[in-house]
A and B are shown apart, each in its own frame.
Chain A
Amino acid sequence: MKKRRNYNLILGLALTCAMVGLIVMGWLWTPFDPNAMDPASRLQSPSLTHLLGTDNFGRDIFSRVLQGAGATFLIGVAVVLIGGVCGVLIGGFCGYYGGWLDDLLMRSADIITAFPSILLALVIISLIGAGKYRIIIALGVLFIPSFSRLVRGEVARCKSQEYVANARLMGAKDLRVLFVHILPNTFPVLLSSLAIGFNNAVLAEASMSYLGIGVQPPDPSLGRMLSEAQTYFFSAPWYALSAGCAIVLLILGVGLIADGLGGRRRRDRA
């Protein structure tokens, strides 16, 4: 077989790196103060001074998109971290030790993952209230079941393999076997799921913030910008387009990475 280039992975990494680069730049420096209002330059179309135009308060949209994308990105990362870390721990122990607790947790995970995460997030938000950190916690907790289910399956698969038996013969303790010998082997599979999880988190956050039950003012978020922009769509379409395209590019890049990782895995196995 000739070696085929993994265009998905390359393209995805390039796009994501570009986005992350912009986001990091946005944390350090933005062309304008994202919150500075300037009544003199309201709803201006894109120009050299204002790359993506200005909004209804005369704020620079490029700066605001940078800031919003940064916030959305951080929320996505935080959600995936919570879900991933807890998922690896729960899934690891369940897969390694089995037993009734494993049965119970995995059955519940099956049921929970069947529900659209946005619906469950809505329920949790209606119980604990909206806000940036609450969104992170709500989504993070919601993502635990799917990650633990995945890790559990991989751990159960690895457990029966020879090198694990070997490690045990060499006198390795349970925890060592689990953390040193088994869990690292689940990472290739976990990695593309984390990427998909990140996208789901970004999507959920954007949707909820758009609905007004996610990130609350004055915290920035791309979803909230979209709901503000919708009102001025006719007079300033670039506002909504900028915010929307930022979401699309973020999701597209990470989605391509997830695809590329999945594709590479499939080829490795063959």
Chain B
Amino acid sequence: MRYVLKKLALLLLTLLIISLLAFLAFQVIPGDPTTKMLGSEATPERVAALRAELGLDQPVLARYWHWLTGCFKGELGLSYSYFQPVETVLSGKIQVTAWLSGLAFLLVIVLALPVGVLLARFEGGPVDKAMTVLNQIVMSVPAFFIGILFTYLFGLVLRWFVPGGYVSWRADMGAFLRYMIFPALAVALPKAAMCVKLLRSSILQELDQDYVRTGYSRGRSRGSVLRHHVLRNAVIPTITFLAVTLADIVAGSIIIEQVFSLPGIGRLLLLSISNRDFPVVQVIVVLIASLVVIINFLADISYQYIDPRIRLDR
């Protein structure tokens, strides 16, 4: 428990530092946002008024404090290009990205777990050899290229979905999921391939351990030893990988949203970067960064429950 609390304190500290860095990073950029919002013809009085409204006339740390406390109240600042509060701009977009990442992560697990176990179970056989080669290739394909291929194959040739025909989950959940499955799969495939490779080698490594022979000596078959002993031991190194993967998937969603024209935060991020709409960029960056930190925190904690050796060492 003390370990968890210590980690939690560290987590909060990291979040604070990240938010400060992200805030400061976008303050040092040259250029006054008011020029963009009002145009270059604006009168000095109007510029001053707007600067006061945006809080730009205050010192940096005061502005950070104002922004941070605002975040806890759900006020994330004002978008320069939409002239709207950032939370309004974000609303509805987070869900799209969350669904996409969640689906993709689920697919990684659903695809990688059985395949990895199967390959290790029949190591050296024709299936293993063929799949290992295929796996290596899939690993090397960028997710956005898979997305493009999917658009062509499933969208244009097989007509299983209409490229660009995104349906909001509010309108029709079924159609939404039917559309989302393709981008999710595109993100998931390379990651699943990496996971298969890791899991396979991790299982094979565990199969060399003495306790496996003990299992056999008690009358277990290869499959049974695999299920009852090896799998749990082999999953431990996979957890770190899955944590990293989840973060990668969220980042990968940014790109795949572009391929499938999904209105998620990834597209918003890109749009805001090219519009130099930094209040929005800053919030999205802090949002994703926090997610990454929290995922790693959860992975650390989950070790405690899976590996009894760690539980006692602390």
Q: Is the CB of B296 within 8 A of A226?
A: no
Interface size on A (CB < 8 Å)?
35
Q: Evaluate whether A226 and B144 lie within 8 angstroms (CB atoms) in the complex, with A114-B296, A213-B273, A255-B136 already known.
A: yes
Q: Is the CB of A247 within 8 A of B289?
A: no
Q: Nearest chain-A residue to B278 (Cβ)? A: A126
State which residues 243-276 of B face A: CB under 8 Å: 244, 247-248, 250-252, 254-255, 258-259, 269-270, 273-274, 276
Residues from chain B with a CB closer than 8 A to the CB of A177 are: none
Residues from chain B with a CB closer than 8 A to the CB of A229 are: 148
Q: Is the CB of A211 within 8 A of B292?
A: no
B145 in contact (CB, < 8 A): yes
State which residues 136-168 of A face B: CB under 8 Å: none
Chain A 221-256 per-residue mask, 1 if CB under 8 angstroms from chain B, else 0: 000001001100110010010001001110110011
Distance from A266 Cβ to chain B, minimum over Cβ atoms (Å): 10
Residues from chain B with a CB closer than 8 A to the CB of A170 are: none
State which residues 104-128 of A face B: CB under 8 Å: 111, 114-116, 118-119, 122-123, 125-127
The one of B140, B142, B148 that contacts A233, using a Cβ cutoff of 8 Å: B148
Q: Is the CB of B152 within 8 A of A115?
A: no
A203 in contact (CB, < 8 A): yes
Q: Nearest chain-A residue to B143 (Cβ)? A: A207
Distance from A117 Cβ to chain B, minimum over Cβ atoms (Å): 8
Interface size on B (CB < 8 Å)?
42
Q: Is the CB of B148 within 8 A of A244?
A: yes
The one of B25, B156, B247, B270 that contacts A234, using a Cβ cutoff of 8 Å: B156
Q: Is the CB of A247 within 8 A of B142?
A: yes
CA distance A199 to B190 in the complex (A): 13
CA distance A256 to B136 in the complex (A): 8
Q: Is the CB of B137 within 8 A of A248?
A: yes
Residues from chain A with a CB closer than 8 A to the CB of B292 are: 114-116
B139 in contact (CB, < 8 A): yes
CA distance A237 to B145 in the complex (A): 12
A206 in contact (CB, < 8 A): yes
B285 in contact (CB, < 8 A): yes
Q: Is the CB of B14 within 8 A of A207?
A: no
Q: Nearest chain-B residue to A243 (Cβ)? A: B145
Q: Is the CB of B285 within 8 A of A207?
A: no
Residues from chain A with a CB closer than 8 A to the CB of B26 are: 127
The one of B14, B252, B274, B281 that contacts A111, using a Cβ cutoff of 8 Å: B14
Distance from B25 Cβ to chain A, minimum over Cβ atoms (Å): 6
Chain B residues engaging chain A, CB cutoff 8 angstroms: 14, 22, 25-26, 28-29, 136-137, 139-142, 144-145, 148-149, 151-152, 156, 244, 247-248, 250-252, 254-255, 258-259, 269-270, 273-274, 276, 278, 281, 285, 288-289, 292-293, 296
